[in-house]
A and B are shown apart, each in its own frame.
Chain A
Amino acid sequence: MVDHHRQWPITDDLATLRDDIQRFAGQAGLTGARLDDLVIAANEAAINVLEHGGGAGTLAMSTDGAVLAVEVADEVGTLSPAAVPGRRPTGRSVRGFGLWLMGELCDSVTIEQVPGRSTIRLSMYLDTGHLGTGGPAAGAGVAPVRGNVRPI
Chain B
Amino acid sequence: MTAAVVVTPVPAHVPDHVLVMALHGALDYTNADRLREELTAAVGEGHRELLLDLSPLDFCDSTGIRILLSVRRLLQERDGGVTLAGLNSRLARIFRTTGLIHAFTVEPDLAEAVGALNSRPGSE
Contacts and interface: CB of A to CB of B under 8 A. Distances in A.
Interface of A: 12-16, 18, 33, 36-37, 39-40, 43-44, 47, 50-51, 88, 94, 97-98, 101, 104-105
A98 B63 CA distance: 9
Given A13-B2, A101-B62, A51 B28 contact: no
Nearest to B69: A92
A88 B96 CA distance: 13
B98 A36 contact: no
Contacts of B99: 88
Interface residues of B, number: 20
Given A44-B62, A94-B62, A101-B62, A13 B93 contact: no
Contacts of B2: 12-15
Binding site secondary structure of chain B = mixed
A14 B94 CA distance: 17
Given A44-B62, A94-B66, A14 B28 contact: yes
13 contacts: A13-B1, A14-B2, A14-B30, A15-B3, A15-B26, A18-B26, A36-B89, A36-B90, A44-B62, A47-B29, A88-B98, A94-B63, A101-B62
Nearest to A19: B1
B89 A14 contact: no
Interface string B1-35: 11110000000000000000000001011100000
A38 to B, nearest CB: 11
Contact of B1 (A16, A39, A40, A104): A16
Given A15-B1, A18-B59, A101-B97, A40 B90 contact: yes
A87 to B, nearest CB: 11
